[in-house]
Amino acid sequence: MIAGVAQIAVVVHDLGKALAFYRDALGLKLLFEVPSAAFFDCGGVRVMLAVPEPAHPELDHAPSILYFRVDDIVGACATLQARGVRLEGEPHVVGQLENRDVWLAHFYDMENNLHALTSQVARGPSAAIDIH
């Protein structure tokens, strides 16, 4: 049956700008390009940026939200902001697991597609996060 996620497709209209954003702003590793798509590695999952095909107009819509896992969500947000990425609010706790808090921070790509950073942070006095 299903063994995992191999690839996620993101529809873009300006492949050049998208390639620069996902490579330079997000820091994803470019694997290869073809005339209408670019492929990146994201922790073993391929992210495909693709221009919609005229033969399939039903595929020309905003993508699902991609949640990028990071170890240091505050540091990652600061890096994205320094690279000109528009964040929506500050990193915040959205849930609690047994001994960890789940943090999220939403951001927009160059075509206003909403994505997010997520991190799991150990709970306890030594695990405090300073978001200012």
Q: For residue 31, tell me if it sits in a domain.
A: yes
Q: For residue 42, tell me if it sits in a domain.
A: yes
**Res 123: pLDDT:** 85
CATH assignment of the domain containing 94: 3.10.180.10
Number of domains into which the chain is organized = 2
The reply to whether 121 and 78 lie within a common domain is yes
Mean pLDDT score across all residues of the chain:
91
**Res 61: pLDDT:** 84
Give the length of the chain.
132
The reply to whether 96 and 47 lie within a common domain is no
Q: For residue 59, tell me if it sits in a domain.
A: no
pLDDT band at 80 (very low <50, low <70, confident <90, very high): very high
**Structural domain span for residue 121:** 64-132
The reply to whether 85 and 128 lie within a common domain is yes
pTM for this prediction:
0.84
The reply to whether 94 and 127 lie within a common domain is yes
The reply to whether 23 and 86 lie within a common domain is no
**Res 58: pLDDT:** 82
**Positions of E strands within the chain:** 7-11, 29-34, 37-42, 45-50, 67-69, 86-96, 100-108, 114-122
**Res 35: pLDDT:** 92
